[in-house]
Structure 1
C-alpha cells in the first residue's frame, strides 16, 4: 500500500504526497505556534500583543511591496527546463530570480529606514524598540528565501522545502520559551522572530546547495530545447503573481495595522489573535495549493488538458468538504481555543474569529482556482479577482470600521472574500475548458 502511494503518478496522489511533506512542516508549526502564541499573548497583554503584531505586520507589508516573491516564477518557467534536461538554463533562471529578490530586499531596507520615525511618533516607540524593529526588518528583507523555495518546488523536492519551513516555528518556540523563563519583552520577541527568518534562510540554501553539488556536472541534453520566456512574459508573470501576493498580505497584515492605527493597539491585538487562529486554516490551504500549482504546471507543460481538468475538479471537491468540516469545528470549539491559548481577556475575539474563519474557508473552498490560472499562464486574471476583492475591502473598511470597530473590519473581510471567490470562479472557466500549453513539444516520458 505504501509503495503504491509513494510511486503513484496519479496527479491528485502526487499533490497529496507533496502536500504531506508541507503538512508535516505546517503541522509542527501549528502545534508549536499554539505555545508561542500563548506565551506572546499572556506575557505582553492585549495592548502589547497588538503593538507587536502591528510592528510585524507593517514589516511584512513593506516586504510584500518591495521584496518580490520569485518562487512561482522559478516553478512556472523552470519546470519546462528541467523536463527538457536544460539544467544550465534552469540555473541561469534561478540566479536571475535571486538578484530580483535581493534588489527588492535592499529597497525595502531603505524604505523602512525612512518610514520608521513616523511609526515611532505614532505609537511612542523608544529608541531600543526602534533599533530592534530596524534589526528585525533588515533580517526579513535580506533573507532571500523565495528563490530557493522555488528551486526546491520545481525539482519536486517538497521534503527539503518542508524542512526549511519547519525551522521558523521551532526557533520561535525555543526563543519564546527562553524569554518566558527570563524576561519577556517586545525587543526580545522581535529578536527571536528575526532569528527564525535568518535560520530558515540558511537552511533553505543549504538544501539547494546539496542538489547543486550533485548536478554540477549535468549537461544540457535536450534535442528539442525549450524556448526561454521573453522579457515581457517574464515580467508580466512576475508582477502579476507579486501583486496577487501583495493583496493577500494586505488582507492579512495591513488590516491589523489599520485597526491599530485608527481604533487602538488593544483592538488590533484582539483582531490579530482571531486572524492568527483563522489563518491556521489558511495554512492548511497553502499546504495543498502550492503542490497543486506545481502539478498543474507539469500537466500544462505536457499538454495533458483532460488530466488537468480532472485534477482541478477533484481538488475542488476535497477542499470544499474540508472547508465545511473546519467551519463547524470553529463554531463548536472556537471559544474554548481562545480561552485555552490566551485566557479570558481575549474572549471578545470570538465573534471576529467566526467572521475571519468564514472568510478563510470561502477562500479554501476555491483554493484550486488561483493556482489553475497561474499555471495556465493567466496570472493576470487571478490578479483582477484579487484587486477587485481588495477594492471592496477598502471601501467596506471605510464604511464599517468607524461605525462598528473591529466587528466591522471582520465583516469587510468576509464580504471581500465572497466577492473574490465569485470573480475567480467566473474567470477560471476559460482556463478549465482550454488551458494554454506553454512549453516544448517534448513528449511525456
Structure 2
C-alpha cells in the first residue's frame, strides 16, 4: 500500500501534487536551514549582545536592500520565458535566454559594488565602525553582489529540477552554522561573522553553477516533440516583465530589511537587535511560504503555456485553501511557543521581542493566506498588477512608519508591518479576480504586463 502511494506521489502529474513534490525538495533545504539557523542565531545573539547583533543585522539588511535595488533578480524571467522553450524542445533558445539573464544580473552586481563603496563612509561614521569592520563589510558586499545566483536558480526551476535548487540553497545555512560554531570556539567578532556570511554566499554560487553545468543538456520532463514552437518575447515584453517582477521583489525586501535598518539608525542598535530577532523568527514562516510559492509559480507558468485554464483555476483554489489552513496552524504555534523559543535561542534578555514577534508573525501569516495571488498574476503576464499592490503596501508602510516610529518605537514599527500586509493582500485579491475567473482571457491579453 505504501509503495503504491509513493509511486503515485513520485509519478503523478496532478498540478498540486507536482507543486507539493517540488516544494518537498525546497522544504528539505529550508528545514535544514531552519535547524542550522537556530544554532547560528543563538551564537550570534549571545556573543554579539543585543546592540552588536543589531549592528550586524543593520549591515546585512543594508547590503540586501542594495542588492534588491541594483542587482536584478532574473529567475522569474528565466522561468516565465524559458519554460515554453523547454516544453517545445528549443534548448538553444533557452541557453541564449539564460546567458542574457546572467549578464543582466552580473552587471547589476558591479553597479551595486560601486554604490556600497560610496555609501560606506556614512555608515562607518554613524556606528563608529573600525577599519577592519569597514573592510569586512566591503568584502561581504562584493561577494554578495558578484555571486550570480538568481539565474542558475531560474534555470534549475525551469527544468523542474528543484532537488538541485534545494541543495544549492541548503549550502548557505550549513556554511553559516559551521563558521559561527568555529568562531564561537575561537574569537567571535562582527568581522568574523561577516566573513562567514560572505563565504556562505560564494560557496552556494559555485554549487549552483556546477549543478547547472551538470544538467546542461537536460530537457523538461513534460516536453513533447509535437509541442508548438515557442516564439521569443519582444524586447518590450521581456524588459517590462523583468522590471515589474524586480520592483515587486524590491518592495518585498524593503518591507523586510529596510525597516530594520531604519530602526537601527533612528532608535538605536539595541532596538534593531530586538526587532531583527523577532523578524528573523517570523521570517522562518515566510521561508515556508516561499517553499510553496516558487514551485507554484513554475507550475502556473506551465499551465498558462499549455493553455490548461480549468486545471490552472483548480490549482489556485486548492493551493489557497492549503496556505490559509497552514497559516492558522502556524500562528497558534507562535502564540503558544514564541516566548520559549526566544528564551531558548537568545536568552531572557531578548524576551522583550515577543510582542514584536506576534505582530510580525501575524503580518507574515496574512501574506501566507494570499500566497498564490502574486504568482498567479505574474504567470498570467500581469506582473504590473502585483507590483502596484506591493507599492501601495509600501507607501502605507512609509507613511505610517513616519508617524508610528517616533511615537511607539519598535512596537509601532511592528504594527505598521501588520497594517501594510493586510492592505497588500486585499489589493492582490481585488487585482486577481479577473485572472481567477477567466485565466484563458487573462493570458491572451497579457502582451502588456
Please confirm whether the aligned pair reaches a TM-score higher than 0.5, indicating the same fold: yes
Aligned equivalents of 2:116 and 2:300: distance in 1?
A: 37
Match of 2:121 among 117, 120, 124: 117
- Tell me the SS of whatever aligns to 1:136: helix
Show the counterpart of 1:442.
Answer: none
Where does residue 53 of structure 2 map in the other structure?
Answer: 49
User: Could you tell me which residue of structure 2 aligns to residue 414 of structure 1?
Assistant: 418
Determine if the alignment matches structure 1 residue 233 to structure 2 residue 237. yes
3-state SS of 2:129 partner: coil
Q: Which residue of 1 aligns with 2:133?
A: 129
Corresponding residue for residue 107 of structure 2: 103
Per the TM alignment, residue 213 of structure 1 is displaced from its structure 2 partner at its CA by 5.3
1:70 aligns with 2:59: no
Task: Say yes or no: does 1:276 pair with 2:280.
Answer: yes
- What is the rounded CA distance, in whole Å, between the counterparts of 2:414 and 2:178 in structure 1? 32
**Equivalent position of 2:34 in the other structure:** 30
Deviation at 1:222, TM superposition (A): 7.0
Separation of aligned partners in 1, 2:62 and 2:229? 44
**RMSD of aligned C-alpha atoms?**
1.3
CA distance in 1, matches of 2:197, 2:349: 24
Per the alignment, in what secondary structure is the counterpart of residue 216 of structure 2?
A: helix
Is 2:13 aligned against 1:9? yes
Query: 1:363 maps to which residue?
Result: 367
Distance 1:414 1:10 in 2: 35
The alpha carbon displacement at 1:433 in A equals 1.5
Q: Give 1:307 shift.
A: 0.5
**Aligned partners of 1:344, 1:316: CA distance in 2, in Å?**
37
Q: How many Å separate the matches in 1 of 2:409 and 2:227?
A: 63
CA distance in 2, matches of 1:161, 1:204: 7
User: 1:137-286 alignment to 2 at 5 Å?
Assistant: 137-212=141-216, 224-286=228-290
Give the CA deviation at 1:437: 3.5
Alpha-carbon deviation of 1:221? 6.8
C-alpha separation in 1, matches of 2:404 and 2:7: 54
Whether 2:99 is the aligned partner of 1:85: answer no
* Structure 1 residue corresponding to 2:22, chosen from 15, 18, 21: 18
The Cα of 1:227 is off from its aligned counterpart by 1.2
Q: Superposed, which structure 2 residues align to 1:286-305 within 5 Å? A: 286-305=290-309
Q: Tell whether the 8 Å contact from 1:68 to 1:242 is kept in structure 2 after alignment.
A: yes
Structure 1: how far apart are the matches of 2:226 and 2:12? 26
Shift of 1:224: 3.8
Aligned partners of 2:87 and 2:227 also within 8 Å: no
Determine the structure 1 residue equivalent to 2:398.
394
Q: Which of these residues, 424, 427, 433, is aligned with residue 423 of structure 1?
A: 427
Is the Cα contact below 8 Å between 1:29 and 1:169 reproduced in 2?
Answer: yes
Where structure 1 has 5 or more consecutive residues not aligned to the other structure, the ranges are 440-445
Distance between the aligned counterparts of 1:222 and 1:92, measured in 2?
22
Query: Partners of 1:214 and 1:90 in 2: how far apart?
Result: 11
Equivalent position of 1:443 in the other structure? none
Q: CA deviation at 1:212?
A: 1.2
1:187-213 CA-to-partner distances (Å, cap 9, x unmatched) read: 000000000000000000000000115
Count of equivalent residues: 435
> How many Å apart are 1:318 and its aligned residue?
0.3
Which position in structure 1 is the counterpart of 2:322?
318
SS at the partner of 1:212? coil
